[in-house]
Amino acid sequence: MQKPQQLRAALNRSVPLLQQNPERLTMSIAAGTVVATSAPSLSFEYRYRLELTIADVQQEIEAAIVPLLAWLRDNQPEMMGNADKRRSDFTFATDAAGALSIGLQLSERVLVTQQQSALQVTFPGEPTPPANDEAPLQLWVHGALVSEWQR
C-alpha cells in the first residue's frame, strides 16, 4: 500500500507541529478488504480504514485538517465528489489530552500484469487533477499564516 506513506510525507511537510515533531503522528490500518474479480488479470483494489492520531495538538485542528483535505482532493477525489462518502469516509475526534484522531476510508488500485513468466505489481495512483486546478500552497487561520507547502 502506498497511500499511508504518501499521506505521512504530505502531513510532515505541511503541518507545522509535524514538521518539528514527526513522531507525534501515528497511523494504523484498522480494517481492510481486498476486492478482486474473476477477470483474467490478478489486479485488485485495497479498501481500508486508515486511523491517524496526532498527539498533543497545540493549535487549531484546521492546521492539520486543511492540508489533509488538500491531499485527499488529489489522492482520494471521490471522497469529496460523492455525497455518501462525504458523510462517512472522513471522521475525527479529539480528547482531553489534545490528541486529534482521524479515520479515513481509502482505496488503492493495484495492477498485476504478466510479463513473460513473471507477475509485475504497479500502483497506478489517481488520475491527475485538471490543469486549471490551482491548489493553494499556504494555510491561514484567523488571519495568521500557519503553514506553507509544495504540491
Average pLDDT, the chain: 86
First to last CA, the chain: 21
CB 8 within 8 A of CB 67: no
Q: How confident is the model at residue 100 (pLDDT cuts 50, 70, 90)?
A: very high
Give the whole-angstrom CA distance, residue 77 versus residue 74: 6
Instruction: Tell whether the model's pLDDT for residue 131 goes beyond 70.
Output: no
pLDDT digits (tens, 9 = 90+) for 26-69: 999 988 999 998 888 899 999 999 999 999 887 788 889 999 99
Domain boundaries of the chain, sorted by first residue:
3-148
CB 91 within 8 A of CB 53: no
Q: How far is CA 149 from CA 16, 23, 41, 86, 96, in A?
A: 10, 19, 39, 25, 29
Nearest to 125 by CA among 68, 49, 46: 46
